[in-house]
């Protein structure tokens, strides 16, 4: 299983945040929000100075590219807990941990 994060932040901001937090997975930049728009996750005017930001969301996408689980919220402070995401992924795989 691979984990990746996509945000509207620049490559430089993501690099700094990743280093600061010690993440072992990529933080990908979608500065023009193309992927974020594709998944209908743009939260218009919700950022500082009414900037558009990505709506908080987590997805489990299987090896075939099918979205098997999604957690969406309108609140920037709300995210799925790790155990909630792992439980959903295990359930989508029929209880298997690959």
Taking the CB of residue 2, how many other CB atoms lie within 10 A of it? 7
pLDDT tens figures, 40-85: 888 888 888 998 888 888 888 888 888 888 888 777 777 778 888 8
Q: What is the pLDDT at residue 34?
A: 93
pLDDT value for 97: 60
Residue 15 has pLDDT above 90, yes or no: yes
Residue 12: pLDDT band with limits 50, 70, 90: very high
CA dihedral defined by 6, 9, 10, 15, rounded to 10 degrees? Answer: -70
**Mean per-residue pLDDT of the chain:** 85
């Amino acid at each position: 299983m691979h984990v990746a994060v996509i945000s509207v932040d620049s490559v430089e901001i993501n690099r700094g945040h990743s280093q600061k937090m010690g993440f072992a997975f990529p933080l990908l930049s979608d500065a023009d929000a193309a992927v974020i728009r594709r998944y209908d996750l743009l939260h218009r005017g919700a950022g500082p100075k009414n900037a558009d930001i990505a709506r908080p969301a987590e997805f489990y996408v299987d090896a075939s590219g099918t979205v098997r689980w999604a957690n969406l919220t309108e609140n920037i402070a709300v995210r799925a807990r790790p155990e909630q995401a792992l439980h959903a992924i295990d359930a989508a795989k029929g209880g298997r941990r690959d």
